[in-house]
Amino acid sequence: MTDKTVSIDIKKDLFGANEEAAAITADIFKKHGIRSVDIMGSVGTGKTELIEGLCEILSKKYRILMLAGDLATTIDADRVASHGVDTVQINTRTACHLDARMIQLALKDVDLSKYQLVFIENVGNLICPAGYSLGVEKKIVVVSITEGPYMIRKHPLTIKRSDMVVINKIDLAEVLSFDVDALVSDIREVDERLPVFKVSAKTGIGLTELVDALGL
């Protein structure tokens, strides 16, 4: 390296800046007394369906805002808005995850005094979202019966960085001969104590237990 070479620790700069932005959002949520949950998971695991189910249960108790992370569409925001919930769309275009700066931008013109609970749906992806703090209280990862049996073993980092795991589409386990106990064992291999919930966002199975566990 010559004395004209500038060495940049990209990882430190990128992640450091993200952590700072996330801490600011966390303070803002705290100041407004807002509870907040980031919902991560692969494409199609049922993140939106879960948010819709939770909104049905919780919208009498909380004024809810949903931030929808999606590369290109407003489909998920529209689905959640159909439950009478306010939404903000974040189209990431090429990015495979939300980051704290995107959340700051999305909240810039929002009157947060109107809300008590924020759900963030992250971009459908079981890898990248886990690396980025958003300033939320809880990070949930949604896995489901339709992704096959190996998703936990292949993606342990996302599991490690989550506060709880939701196994969704439990209504399909029997018909697909899916071994739910083996999946739970895989989660236990990664983290012995991580709370695990078996739900069907579609039928409502397990949603009240999840709400209780979130303290909502």
Q: Does 206 bind ligand GTP (CB under 6 A)?
A: no
Q: Does 49 bind ligand GTP (CB under 6 A)?
A: yes
* 50-53-55 Cα angle (round to 5): 110
Query: Residue 43, class by beta-carbon neighbours within 10 Å (0-12 exposed, 13-18 middle, 19+ buried)?
Result: exposed
Among residues 18, 36, 45, 158, which is the contact residue for ligand GTP, using CB under 6 A? 45
- Residue 114 corresponds to which tokens in the numbers above? 């109107």
Kindly state the smallest distance separating residue 59's Cβ from ligand GTP, in Å: 17
Helix (H, G, I), strand (E, B) or coil at 133: coil
Kindly state the smallest distance separating residue 15's Cβ from ligand GTP, in Å: 24
- The 65-104 site mask, x for binding ligand GTP (CB under 6 A), equals -----------x----------------------------
Q: Does 48 bind ligand GTP (CB under 6 A)?
A: yes
Q: How far is CA 33 from CA 49, 62, 91, 116, 184, in A?
A: 26, 11, 27, 7, 34
Residue numbers 127-166 binding ligand GTP by CB under 6 A = none
